[in-house]
Structure 1
Amino acid sequence: MPSLIVEPLNTQHFIMDRDDRKRNKNIGKNFMCRLQCMFSHSSSSESRLSLEDTQQWSQSLERLLESKYGLATFRNFLKSEYSDENIEFWLTCEDYKKIKSSFRMSSKAKKIYEQFIKAESPKEINIDYHTREQIKRNVKTPTMHCFDDAQKIVYGLMERDSYPRFLRSDIYRTLLENLAADATKG
């Protein structure tokens, strides 16, 4: 019979046997390797995933999204929960704001509306009726800011809901544990 380990997390307790802990550690290591491989071609100063950077993700959602590793990890977490439409919408809006051509802006605004805003759309985001109707009108003559209200709502939802769950998730905790173990090894 395997021995049991009780690990506190806030007010909750999780019971894991040694095999589960080992499996989680391997998952964390594999994910860490995948993250570093994804960005190994990059020559930026943030070329390696570090414990310090990963710990800073817990300071704010903004800090998490500013990190290429943080963003990739958060997206992976949301996909695992089948709730990645919010981050996809938010990122799409960030790209949309960079469009200079009015023709491309009009085309992209319609695609965003069809994909994320329209009722029953494939990746419908959770926004109120008033905001949805305002965007419907705005898309007819789109500007750089026609999705700003919805983007703020979605950011707030992620900040209050998804982000705290991410910080408590196995994927984030295991990543921190593996990085801390690597740091102590030298």
Structure 2
Amino acid sequence: MGAQWLSGSTFASHLQGWAFDSHLRLVCVEFACSPRASGVCSGYSGFLPRSKDMHGRLRTEDTLKWKVSFQNLLFHKDGLCAFRAFLMSEHSEENIAFYLACEDYKNTKTSSKLCSKAKKIYEEFIDSDAPKEVNLDHETKSIMKKNMEHPTASCFDLAQSKIYTLMEKDCYPRFLKSTLYMELSRQAKP
């Protein structure tokens, strides 16, 4: 099977292998990420898809493109799943979950759903007592709180941008140095 690349304009609509449950937890449906998954590295095996699901189609050119840019990593289905596994192992999955929840939110069609989704995202990731609170400065949190009065499709853009930058500057370089990335690169097909 060829590369699994997602174009920028259809990124959110191509999260077909991903879903959000009723508590906005990111669920890797297509790759069956589960605690019983038998992944590449023992330290990540509980977070990775079953090896036959990902490794049968992962190509060397894919893993090399992940190294070129953070966007390439996120826009590739297997790259996104591997990065999520890495973040889970570091106990910081809330960052990618928030980012993807925002992408999903932007594609919401009706205003009634927009309001309810905005409230869920705010309560899950931004509120000061949020169970999966992302690391945002006080000013950004204040802006997000104000945006909740009249949610729009772009009301989370500022916070999402800050979390994207945090992942790009902090988590992504560590991912590229991780055993997980090294093993996936080594086992990818030419």
Give 1:1-186 correspondences, 5 Å limit: 27=42, 34=50, 36-37=52-53, 48-179=57-188, 183=190
Give the deviation of 1:55 after TM superposition.
1.2
**Percent same amino acid at aligned positions?**
49
Task: Report which of the two has the higher share of helix.
Answer: 1
Give the deviation of 1:176 after TM superposition.
1.1
Paired AA for residue 166 in structure 1:
F
1:36–1:49 contact (8 Å) kept in structure 2: no
Q: Which residue is equivalent to 1:18? A: none
SS in 2 for 1:82: coil
Structure 2 runs not aligned, ≥5 long: 1-38
Give the deviation of 1:173 after TM superposition.
0.5
Question: TM-score normalised to the size of structure 2?
Answer: 0.73
SS in 1 for 2:107: coil
SS in 2 for 1:176: helix
Residues 32/79 of structure 1: CA separation in 2 closer, same or farther (3 Å cut): closer
Runs of 4+ in structure 1 over 3 Å off: 24-28, 30-33
Give the deviation of 1:36 after TM superposition.
4.5
Once the two structures are superposed, residues 89-135 of structure 1 have per-residue CA deviations (whole angstroms, 9 ceiling, x without a partner) of 00000000000100000000000000000012101011111110111
Question: TM-score normalised to the size of structure 1?
Answer: 0.74
Cα RMSD (Å): 2.4
Give the deviation of 1:35 after TM superposition.
5.2
Q: Which residue is equivalent to 2:15? A: none
Structure 1 runs not aligned, ≥5 long: 1-23, 40-46
Give the deviation of 1:148 after TM superposition.
0.3
